[in-house]
Amino acid sequence: MDPITSAIILGVAGNFATDAIKAAYNSLKDALTKKHGQDSDLVDAVNKLEKTPDRDDRKVTVETEVKIAKANDDAELVKLAQHLLAQLKEQPGGIPSINMTVSHVKFAATSATGSATISQINDNAPAEDWKR
């Protein structure tokens, strides 16, 4: 997951445990709003995630809108996201985990750094779908 999406999701999930986290989150959101507009789909997705932070579809929408807006091409936004992630990492317990449920995926590939745990994988596809 890209740094901006991660920072937004984790910032919202962290419930602004400290004033520093809240300030870092607000700086990132303010910069997103300034660069992409209050009425942009990206800012709208962030606002909706704030209202319902446990909904996986909202997290996926934020990630999609970050990609569409090419927000990760903006060095200032990435720097603000990295600062927020650093603030989250410093809190007791470190960075909280992100839990997402992805359904109806037959094959997937991704690239990232860090660690991940994959559990509860269920294959409900008919056997003929897996024949070569």
- Say what the pLDDT of residue 77 is: 96
pLDDT digits over 61-74, tens only?
Answer: 999 999 999 999 99
Domain residue limits, the chain: 3-90
Say yes or no to pLDDT of 38 above 80: yes
Top pLDDT among 19 and 34 is at 34
φ/ψ (deg, to 5) at 74: -95, 110
- Lowest mean pLDDT across 7-11, 80-84, 108-112, 116-120: 108-112
- Give pLDDT, residue 37: 95
Read off the pLDDT band of 19 (50, 70, 90): confident
For residue 59, the SS3 value is helix
- Quote the pLDDT of residue 39: 96
Do 96 and 16 meet the contact criterion of CB atoms below 8 Å apart? no
**Model-level pTM?**
0.69
Do residues 43 and 37 touch, judged by C-beta distance below 8 A? Answer: yes
pLDDT of residue 132: 45
The mean pLDDT of 6-21, rounded to a whole number, is: 84
